[in-house]
Chain A
Amino acid sequence: MKEQKTTRGFLRGTPAAALSILVLLVLLVLSLLGAVTFGSTDIPIGDVYGVISQKLYHLLIGDGSWGSGSLFRAIWYIRLPRLILAMAIGAGLATCGVVMQAIVKNPLADPYVLGISSGASLGATAAILLGVGTVFGSNFVGVMAFLGAFVISLAVVGLANIGGRANSVKLLLAGTALSSVCSAFSSFIVYIAHDREGMQTVTYWMMGALGGATWETDLVVLLVVLAGIGFFLTQYRTLNLMLFGDETSITLGTDLHKWRQLYLLVSAAIVGFAVYAAGMIGFVGLVIPHVVRMFFGTDHKRLLPISALTGAIFLIWADVACRTIIPGQELPIGILTSMIGAPCFIYLMARKRYGFGGGD
C-alpha cells in the first residue's frame, strides 16, 4: 500500500482542536472590539464604546430608532457594519476555499477558481459600463456580479457533465474555459463602452472593498455564510473522502458525483454574496486553509471551523490595516490581502514538509 502523505499538523489531538476553536472565538470577539476603535478619523476610544453600548442598550429595550449625529453614524453605520461584513466574508471565503480545494482535489484551488470571479466581473462590468440591471436599486452592480457568479457556476457544472459525469479535472477545465469566455466578453464591453470613468469604476470594483457595508447587506451575507458553514460542518466525512478520489470513495460506498455539485452550488452562493457585498477579495480563501492545515492537519472536522474563524479574524484586521495605512483614505482590501497572501503562499510552497492530504 502506498504511503499516505497527509499532513497531520502538530496540534492534531481533538482536545487541542476544541480548545483552539474556543480561543479563536474569544479572539474574534476581541478583534471586533479592538478593530472598531480604528478608523480614518480619530474618535476617542471612550466615545466609541459609549456609542455602541448605548445603542445596544436601546436595541435591548426595543428603542431601535435611538441614535443620531455624525459620531453615532460613523461608528454604528460605517465602522461596525464593515467589520461584521469583513468577519462574514473572511469566514465564508476561507470555508469555500477549503471546500473548493476538496472538490477539485487541487491545493491551488480558491473560492474563485471555477469561473466564479470571471462571471462576477462580467456581471459587474455589464452593470457599470452598460447600465444593465439598474432596476435592482443602488447596489445593482453587486446584484449583477452575484448573478454572473451564480450563472457561471451552474454553467460550469452543466458543461462538466456533458459527455459523461463530471469529475475534478472536467470541472477545472470547464471553469477555465468559461472564465476565458467571460473575460473576453468583459474586455469587449470595456472596449466598446469607452467610458473613462466607468473603466476606473470597474478597475476599482475588481480590487474589492468593504466600504459599501450596511446592516441590511451584513444580515443577508452573515445568514448565507453561517448557513453554508453549518451545512459543510455536517459534510466533513464526504469532504475527507474527496481527497482520496472517486475510485476509493466508490469502494467505500460513497458516490462523490452529486455531492461535488451540491457543494459547488452552496459555495457559489456564499462566494456570490461575498462578491455582491464587497467585490473580489483574493488569497484569503487560498492561504487560510493552507495555514490551518499546517497546524491542525487535513481532517475537515477541524479544518472547516478553524479556517472559518481564522479567515474572519484575518479579514477584520486586514480591513483595519486598509483604513489606517494611508491617512484619510482607504486602500481596497483586495489589494492588501493579495499583497500579504501571495508571499505567504510562496513561503508555504517553498516549505517541503507540507502536504495537501489524500493519496497523491
Chain B
Amino acid sequence: MKKVKKLLCMMMAVAMVFTLAIRVSAAGNQTEYPVTVTTYDYEGNEIETTYEKAPEKVICVYQGCIETMIALGLEDRVIASYGLDNPVKEEWEEGLSKMNYNEDAFSPDKETVLMMEPDLIFTWGSLFSDKKLGNQTEWIANGTNTYISTNTRRGGYPRTLENEYTDLLNIGRIFGVEDKAQALVDEMKNEIAGVLEQTAGQEAPRVAVIEFLGDQISNYSAKQLGGSMVEALGGTLANPDASEIGKEDLVELDPDVIFVVYMARTENVEAEMIAKVMEDPAFADLSAVKNGRVYSIMLGDMYASTVRSIDGIRTFAAGMYPELYK
C-alpha cells in the first residue's frame, strides 16, 4: 500500500514537473502583459513605455511601419495609415486594404490623430515635432503609446541593422506575436550568415553606396543603414566616413561595386540612376563601370526599412557576390 502511495506521489510529482515545463515553454512564446518596451522621445532620449495589453487602435505612418504591421499579420489592429513612398509588395496589398490607408494626406495632423483615440502611434521620429503631433511624452501621458523606428532617433546615433531587428522584435513583443517577428529576423540573419559562410576566405569587395541628389553625390557611410548592411555582409565601404563626395573622390576611391540609391517614384528611375554612373565619361575608367558592377538599390530597402531589410540585404549581397545569386 505504501509503495503504491509512493509511486502515485512520484507520478504526480513527475506530472506536475511536466505540466510546469510545458507552461514555462508556452510562456516563453507568449507575451505576458504588462510589457515594457524602450523607445525614444522627440529629442532622442530613451523612454520606457508600458503596454497593459496588445494595442487595438493603431495609427501607422510611413512605409516601414505599415509593412511591418502587415508582415506580422497585425493589419486589423490598424485604424488609420498614412505615408507610403512606394506601393507595398504584392503579397501585402490585401493587408493594406484593411488598414484604412489615407491617400489624401501624407501624414495626419494632431487633431485628426487625437479624435481617433489611438492606443499606439507607430511611425518615424520626425512626426513628433512640435509642429506636427507634438512630443511623444505628451501622448504617452494621455494614454496613447508611441513607438518610433529606432533608426529615426534624433541625435546623430548610428543607423544599424541591429536596430531594425530590435524594432521588429519589439513590435512582436508589444502585440504578442514574437514568434513571427523572430522568424523574420532569423530570415535576415540566416541570409547574412549564409553569405558569409559561402564567401569565407574571399577578399572583401570594396563597395560604395551613393545617391545622386541634384548635383551632389551623397555617400552612405558606416553610420547609415546602407553602410551597416554592406559591412554586415562582409564588404568594405570604399569611404566609410564621408556623407558627401565629389565625382573626383569617387574616381579616386575606385570601388569594386557601386550601388546607386533610387526612390521608386517614376517608372524608369532604376535605369536612369545606373546610367548616371555607367554613361558619365568621368567615370569611364572606374573598375565597377568596366566590369559592369553598378547596381541600383531602392531607398526604402535600406532606410528605416524594417521588414524590407531582407530585400536590402539580398540586393546588396547579389551585387557584391553575383556568383552566389545566379
1/0 contact string of B237-256 vs chain A (CB within 8 Å) = 00000011000000000000
Q: Which of the residues B104, B126, B154 comes within 8 Å of A200, measured between beta carbons?
A: B126
Q: Does A326 contact B (CB under 8 A)?
A: yes
Known: A201-B129, A211-B132, A279-B131. Is A78-B104 also a contact (CB below 8 A)?
no
| A73 surroundings in chain B (CB, below 8 A) | 114, 142
Q: Does B107 contact A (CB under 8 A)?
A: yes
- Output the residue of B106, B152, B156 with the most chain A CB within 10 A: B156
Bound: A39/B112 CA distance, A: 9
| A141 surroundings in chain B (CB, below 8 A) | 130
**CB within 8 Å of A: which of B89-110?**
102, 104-110
Closest CB of chain B to A206's CB: distance in Å? 11
Q: Does A3 contact B (CB under 8 A)?
A: no
Bound: A146/B135 CA distance, A: 20
Q: Are A139 and B130 in contact (CB under 8 A)?
A: yes
Known: A138-B130, A191-B244. Is A326-B42 also a contact (CB below 8 A)?
no
| B111 surroundings in chain A (CB, below 8 A) | 39-41, 74, 78-79, 323
Closest CB of chain A to B112's CB: distance in Å? 5
Bound: A60/B135 CA distance, A: 30
| A197 surroundings in chain B (CB, below 8 A) | 124-126, 152
Which residue from chain B places its CB closest to the CB of A139 in the assembled complex?
Answer: B130
Closest CB of chain A to B57's CB: distance in Å? 12
Bound: A79/B106 CA distance, A: 21
Which residue from chain A places its CB closest to the CB of B42 in the assembled complex?
Answer: A138
Q: Does A299 contact B (CB under 8 A)?
A: no
Q: Are B107 and A329 in contact (CB under 8 A)?
A: yes
1/0 contact string of B288-313 vs chain A (CB within 8 Å) = 00000000000000010000000000
| B126 surroundings in chain A (CB, below 8 A) | 197, 200-201
| A78 surroundings in chain B (CB, below 8 A) | 110-111, 114
**CB within 8 Å of A: which of B124-172?**
124-126, 129-132, 134-135, 137, 142, 152, 154-156
Q: Are B154 and A131 in contact (CB under 8 A)?
A: yes
Q: Does B43 contact A (CB under 8 A)?
A: yes
Majority SS of interface residues in chain B? loop
Which residue from chain B places its CB closest to the CB of A129 in the assembled complex?
Answer: B156
Known: A131-B156, A328-B104. Is A41-B112 also a contact (CB below 8 A)?
yes
**CB within 8 Å of B: which of A186-202?**
191-192, 194, 196-197, 200-201
| A209 surroundings in chain B (CB, below 8 A) | 131
Q: How many B residues touch A, CB cutoff 8 Å?
A: 34
Interface Cβ pair total, 8 Å cutoff: 82
Q: Does A212 contact B (CB under 8 A)?
A: yes
Q: Are B114 and A328 in contact (CB under 8 A)?
A: no
Which residue from chain A places its CB closest to the CB of B43 in the assembled complex?
Answer: A134
Q: Does A70 contact B (CB under 8 A)?
A: yes
Q: Does A327 contact B (CB under 8 A)?
A: yes
Q: Does A57 contact B (CB under 8 A)?
A: no
Bound: A326/B107 CA distance, A: 12
Closest CB of chain A to B157's CB: distance in Å? 11
Q: Which of the residues A140, A142, A205, A329 comes within 8 Å of B104, measured between beta carbons?
A: A329
Closest CB of chain B to A72's CB: distance in Å? 10
| A43 surroundings in chain B (CB, below 8 A) | 115
Q: Are A194 and B108 in contact (CB under 8 A)?
A: no
Q: Does A204 contact B (CB under 8 A)?
A: yes
1/0 contact string of A72-92 vs chain B (CB within 8 Å) = 011000110000000000000
Known: A74-B111, A211-B131, A211-B132. Is A326-B155 also a contact (CB below 8 A)?
no
Closest CB of chain A to B155's CB: distance in Å? 6
Bound: A142/B244 CA distance, A: 28
| A134 surroundings in chain B (CB, below 8 A) | 43
Q: Does B49 contact A (CB under 8 A)?
A: no
| B108 surroundings in chain A (CB, below 8 A) | 328-329
Bound: A283/B109 CA distance, A: 25
Q: Which of the residues A70, A131, A211 comes within 8 Å of B109, measured between beta carbons?
A: A211
Known: A329-B108, A330-B109. Is A131-B130 also a contact (CB below 8 A)?
no
Which residue from chain A places its CB closest to the CB of B304 in the assembled complex?
Answer: A197
| A205 surroundings in chain B (CB, below 8 A) | 131
Bound: A331/B129 CA distance, A: 15
Q: Which of the residues B107, B115, B124, B130 comes within 8 Å of A70, measured between beta carbons?
A: B115
Which residue from chain A places its CB closest to the CB of B142 in the assembled complex?
Answer: A73
Bound: A344/B244 CA distance, A: 42
Bound: A35/B152 CA distance, A: 36
1/0 contact string of B215-248 vs chain A (CB within 8 Å) = 0001000000000000000000000000110000
Q: Which of the residues B42, B115, B137 comes within 8 Å of A74, measured between beta carbons?
A: B115
Q: Which of the residues B43, B107, B114, B124 comes within 8 Å of A138, measured between beta carbons?
A: B43
Q: Does B187 contact A (CB under 8 A)?
A: no
Closest CB of chain B to A214's CB: distance in Å? 8
Q: Are A211 and B130 in contact (CB under 8 A)?
A: yes
Which residue from chain B places its CB closest to the CB of A193 in the assembled complex?
Answer: B243
15 A-B pairs, CB-CB below 8 angstroms?
A39-B111, A40-B109, A41-B115, A74-B111, A78-B114, A131-B154, A134-B43, A211-B130, A279-B131, A323-B111, A326-B104, A328-B105, A329-B104, A329-B105, A332-B131
- In addition to A211-B109, A328-B102, 5 A-B residue pairs with Cβ atoms within 8 Å of each other are A40-B109, A323-B109, A327-B104, A327-B105, A330-B109
